[in-house]
Structure 1
Amino acid sequence: MRGLAARLRARQALLLAGMVALIAMIAAFGAAAALAAGQHDNAELQLARRNELVVAAATAEIGRYVDAVGAIASATGAFENLTAAKFAQVTAPLAGRQLAGATSVVYVVPATDGQIAATQARWRTRGLPNLRLQPAGPVREHLFTVFSRWLDDSTGRPLSGIDVGQAPAPVRALEAARHTGQVSISDAYQLLIDRNLPEAQRQMSFVLTAPVYATSPVTGARIQSGWILMGLRGQQFLDTALSQVSQGLLDVTLTADDAAGHPVAVAAVRSTNIGRRDLTSDGSITVADHRWQLHVAAPAAALPGGINELPAVVAVAGSLLGLILAGLVWVLATGRARAEAKVRTATSDLVAAESTAREQAGLLEAVMNSISDGVVVIDEHSNQLVFNPAAHDMIHSTEHADERDLAARYGFYEADGVTPCRTADLPLVRALIGEHTEQAELVIRNENHPEPLTLSVSARPLHRANSQVGAVAVFHDVTARKAAEAELAASINDLQAFAAVAAHDLRTPLSVVAGYAELLSYGLAEGDDVATLQPIAARITSGVDRMRRLIDDLLAYATARDGRLNLEPVPLRKLVDEVVADHTTHLRVPGEPQPPMPDITTAALPLVLVDRAMVRQLLDNLIGNALKYTRPGQLAHVVISAHPAPDGRVRIDIADRGIGIPADEQPRVFTSFHRVAQHAGGYPGTGLGLAICHRVVERHGGDIVAADNPGGGTLISFTLPLMGTAPVATRRVLPHLPGATIPYS
């Protein structure tokens, strides 16, 4: 009987130990599965956010190209008699805009078979004496290139005289631009200039085109005179557009329709990561009258915060702990004698098990403490089980608030930041009744958070053994993202206002030119003498100069805003000397009496790390203003000096003895199209010069201010990074002591 009872007790002990081990493994693998699911969801969210950044970067980059083609088309149409020299002048700013992948910009004109000889003769007289038009077979209308400018390092035969009509893709784009009057983009194809390249070097490419409208000298009506066409290589464009946002983590493929309407892969950027691309996301961008598709893929394990080994660690650790507990149950259940014989071993095993459990608990706590998202876990009675440091930083309870009213206790509001949130609507409370909430937006504001935070909250119920045991919520701070979205919306509004002002300022001199041109035509018809007509012609020339200045300033303003910084060491003194020479050389005419020259004093200036073209524009505007804004009959006096700035940069001062800027106007002179009322009458300008200066300095991480110059005139001060410092890096602070020096050139 004793043997039978012993065997029965042993079986019961074995069954009990097996149940303990099974329950522990189920719990461990359940927790691991929940963590793995959460990691996968987070990886998908990371990829979706990066896909949004990829789409935004590609959209912004191609927008620069569309804007450039439209601006060149508008500027080209402003000339009554377009020549090679004028075309070179209009397209010169493109060389500094760093349009990656852009091959060339050309002016295209139409001609039928019967018009080829006359068309060739006309453009030979406008700066292309060796032009030879090369028709490509019988077509209804030839499309010849005349003027051109290379935008990359390509070399080869000249672009003039090529019949673009031999390729169907650009022909359809030109027809679309003619029909809509807007910028159009072609289907994907291989550029004519690339067809002689080796197969491995050819790229799928596009052309951007915009119609050029001119005023008919006969009827005065607006007619289309041709097109501006720009070639764009797809792979070079995509490499540059995504160089910052992809960060070597993503595979990105750009797809567009070819001439037959079939989608083709135009270009691709490949990640350096190895492994299966188990996450994908798609997006699209609108380019003129076409849509491009972007396919983004990445290994989930390669994304920051993506899949890692934590679920496996949890599963293994939980299983080990379950086995240890099962063994302990077996030892305790097999009888007092055996327990007494192995008590020391059991005690040792228990200590090891406790140490392992503590280590695992410490690991889980370290994970919770290290993640940037707030995590809150509560049980079915609303008692807090987990409240990690990130959650504590985001959520502070309000003193003297009702403990039962969670919304009032923590200061939760709806997404508008005004309407108080009800406790029953909180995602964590809803999760307790079994509801799932994904990325709900809440605003938190209380005495601990006087500046409101916008949080994205996801919450889920926690289940175990077919019963709910609590809820978990993850809080993500999206305040910065919401502020960026608001700033983007404000920027769009600013751009719309900018376009309206620019259109008005271009229309005004255009109306003047049109009016005086009509007077000139009437005077010629009446036989007026030259002395009578010369003032009218001078007014027309003045109006054209004003439009040209505004167009140049608009292009410079866009470049200062959107152009990529090409940082290089620049001797500032040499650059200042070049600008001063540009502004004074015309005053020295050989063989004529020398007029009084402006008094310009330049102190020692340092070597700076800047974009040379942008800083030259900055100096040209500021020195030009110092020379221009002087009283009639007064000789200009300008002093240019440098001083160490407290943040390790250099402050450049440009002081003059001119007419000065009223104190109440000084904070506003760097605003686009703003002109001081006292200056607008007697001094020509577009109101963009100082706005361009502000953009250039801001792009280099500095600041610029206007103040009174002691003794009269204006003092403009701005800061630039010294060689050895970066525009956005943390800089060494130089002590502001007498005799403090920096290396000057």
Structure 2
Amino acid sequence: MKQVDKNKFSFSDQVLGEELIFLLTALNISKAGLTITDCSQPDDPIVYCNKAFENLTGYSREEIIGHNCRFLQGNDDNRQEREVIKNTLHAGEECTIEIRNYKKNGSLFWNELHLKPIKDDLGKLLYYVGVQNDITRQKLADQQLRIERLKVEKQVLGHTYNFIENNNLLNTFLETVNESILILSRDLKILKVNTSFLKTFHIAEDEVLNQYLFEIDHCRWDLMNLRSLLDQHHVNDSILEDVVTRVGKKMLKVKISQIFLEKELNIILAIEDITELKEIDRRKDDFLNVASHELKTPLTTIMACIQLTQRMIPKEADDKLKDTLTKAKEHIDKLEHLISDLLDVSKIKTGKIELSKGAFNLDAMVFHVADQLRKAHSNYTINISGYASNYYVGDKQRLEQVVLHLLKNSIKYTPSGGNINIHLSRLSDFIKVSITDYGLGVDYQHQKKIFENFFRVDEVQKQYPGIGIGLYISDQIVKNHGGTLWVESAAGEGATFSFTLPLKFKNDDKENTDL
């Protein structure tokens, strides 16, 4: 049998069995999507995927490794299917199941999933191999699927099937919403538009109705980017939300879905002109950049004066004076950290944030940060388990900033006396750091938005003030290392923030390996 280089996969320190080697050799060239999950790690993370799985889902390998396979299920219920998968994994058995999954662009596809356990000679479960096939086309032959898809569309668009079917109500809806709305046939002929669309693009109704979308006068508005967007996301099979694109001089936020109109399945585009909002956002960034720089210099001077005063006051001075100076220094420290974060945001926006890469012990860095916070928050229990890497090439200071922020977040949203668990792991040619708390949790609808600049959940903001930049900065730092940061949570049930880092940077000659 042809041998496969173990280091190419490096699932764990366990020896690869003959059966696994055979499967990898055979299935790596398969057109079917292939994943392998490591059952020895918490939450069964994916440690291997083939190119076909990347093509199937739209996610890159960097975005896949370290996740549990359920990340493809989005917010879909799939209760019965999930229960079957859960029971199969628990029993260490083999099964085949059809389940609704979602690609990176948000489009639904039906996945025929075959799960096969890999065990050692003693029967201990080591890995699960998952083989995925897109069977959406077969499912589309069944009219019942259209009803199921319509339920998903109804959630995205916030309207009921009967509402869309009623033409009078549809017209009322089109003229009520602020977005520009187009309803297209499957071959992209314009069937309906609303007044907002006509005003936004300065075009008359008789110039667009019954015209093909890309035959409209391009001199007045450039549609090529929009066409590229539709082609890219295969609009006839997709549900797509909040994609920002440029059409001419306008910045547009586009939603794409499907509706039944006169018993025909058609395409609906909801377009919001965010050009002015983007300009306001740019001006805000400029202001924060200037303000942060202007504040930094006098703040440094104030800090120096306080430190000098602390050294100059006599030992017999009043304790109240000493406490006042200490508190003033602590608050200036907080303000300096805030200004530093704002400057980081500015650097990220302008692409000027740079990494100072060097070799360091990543595990030791995590232990050091955890130890710092244990001392500062002795009423919390911070546990660390696992192993990732004692030799990693990256920006130690920046990655320390990420771990520090994630841990501070966990402490902030966890009741006093709570537990926080850190798990370090090595998954194929990636390392993974996971931080779990049992605090407020994050509702599914906010789980992507919390990594946006200045985003704060309204209910949380009232109880826990902040400006919402820490997760944004952390996400960008991890991305600049070629990794991925994400959260798994449910409101009121705590949260697990995880990030993966490749052991070898793209365009790097030097690979991260253990000493």
Same fold, TM exceeding 0.5? no
Q: TM-score range by the shorter chain?
A: 0.3 to 0.5
Pair member with larger Rg: 1
TM-score, scaled to structure 2: 0.37
Relative to the length of structure 1, the TM-score reads 0.27
